[in-house]
Amino acid sequence: MMSSGGYTSLDNQKVSGSVPAVSDPPHTTVQFTDSNLQTFPPSEAQGKISGGYRPPRDADDSFSKPVPGGSSDEPQSGGWLRMFKVAAYKPFFDVDTSDVLDRIKESLIPFRGSFSEKTATNPDLYGPFWICTTLIFVAAAIGTFVTYVAHKLQKKDWDYDINMITWSAGLFYGYATFVPLCLYVILKYFSAPSGLVQLLCLYGYSLFVFIPASCLSVVPVEEFRWVIAGVAGFMSATFVALNLRAHIMSAGERWFLIVLGIFLLQLALAVVLKLYLFTVTV
């Protein structure tokens, strides 16, 4: 017989007899557990990561600041022992080119007397170091060239003196280090203490005027060299004295003698520079 769907009931019986019907599986509910994955960046501080959506801090901070709650192989030292660490001097080299150029320009205008005020919050040692280093090689090179020209004009033999570099290095590095240190002790004695780094910064920049003065001393005229040395010494001495005058006045009635000593000592540096580097004997 034909069914309404086009198949015979006999065929249906044969098919149902040979292939047993499979019942539908029972309905099961699948539950997913919460994922352990975390979003990035984290919304809260975890471990050493400080705050979400913030850029990482400078890695060099690990040399200056101990990790909170962390253990370190080296004991944390403080007080005067900190001066033996490189990180203690890092803030004094945190200047850019524009800062150094502005301070050099300030040193070439000695009558303002505002250098100490402008550098009171951020004195640097970067500029003084490179000024002294440049001055050492410039003074030694120009001094050597001056003696060379003098010997050639007289048609005499000339020998290079290597001691000019070592002598100028001892002169400028020693002056820029020990004079501010002695002044620091003197001001502390007179109850008018000043920052040692600020004094080093002031004296370091005061030496810049001797760089162009050394270059001008190549002119083979003795009177002109004395004028150049005098002008450079006067500018440098005025720059230091005026910037320290307001501070030293708090030391009492002897402030004038201290300022006068600072002025004359800076002039003496110019005279020594002229006599030992730019005085030619053939």
Q: Report the alpha-carbon distance of residue 239 to residue 115 in Å, rounded.
A: 9
Helix extents (H) in 19-88: 61-64
CA distances from 225 to 15, 249, 275 (A): 124, 35, 10
User: What 3-state class would DSSP assign to 179?
Assistant: helix
pTM of the predicted model, to two decimals?
0.68
pLDDT tens digits, 31-63: 555 555 555 445 444 443 344 444 444 433 333
| Exposure letters 19-47 (e unless 16+ CB within 10 A, then b) | eeeeeeeeeeeeeeeeeeeeeeeeeeeee
Residue % of the chain over a pLDDT of 90: 30
Q: Report the alpha-carbon distance of residue 199 to residue 175 in Å, rounded.
A: 12
Tell me which residue has tokens 């003795």: 222
pLDDT tens digits, 204-232: 999 999 999 999 988 878 899 899 999 99
| Residues 204 and 126: beta-carbon distance below 8 Å | no
